[in-house]
Copies of this chain bind each other. A is one copy, B any other.
Amino acid sequence: MKLTELKAIQLAELFSSLSDASRIRIIALLIGGEMSVRAIADGLGMTESAVSHQLRGLRHMHLVRARKSGRQVFYTLDDDHVSRLFTLGLDHVQHG
């Protein structure tokens, strides 16, 4: 398949955002619906700082979207590509 170097880099960056167990667990949580940073941190036993750092990367790659409400920020998956990549990857792992 023909692929410009730019697209190759963008694809690699997309998959990079899914290449860490903490981020995978964040996304797995968000498949269940919108959550605040603290709720994610509590749910995963991570510090809010670590979660916030990871969410920034995910936001930057348009994998999650933020909605601010008062002093909380609620995150959701940005579009259905994300959960489809997730479940397709899970398929591969489970048939490995």
Report Cα–Cα, A52/B58, bound state, in Å: 31
> Contact: A18 with B20, CB < 8 Å?
no
Which listed residue (B21, B81, B95) contacts A88, Cβ 8 A? B81
Report Cα–Cα, A82/B96, bound state, in Å: 12
Q: Size of chain A's interface in residues, with CB distance under 8 A?
A: 39
Describe A's contact surface by its main secondary structure: helix
> Contact: A24 with B1, CB < 8 Å?
no
Contacts of A88 in B (CB 8 A): 81, 84-85, 88
- A84 and chain B: residue at smallest CB distance: B88
- A92 and chain B: residue at smallest CB distance: B81
> Contact: B10 with A93, CB < 8 Å?
yes
Contacts of A90 in B (CB 8 A): 7, 11
Is A19 interfacial (CB-CB < 8 Å)? yes
Is A50 interfacial (CB-CB < 8 Å)? no
Report Cα–Cα, A20/B2, bound state, in Å: 17
Is A31 interfacial (CB-CB < 8 Å)? yes
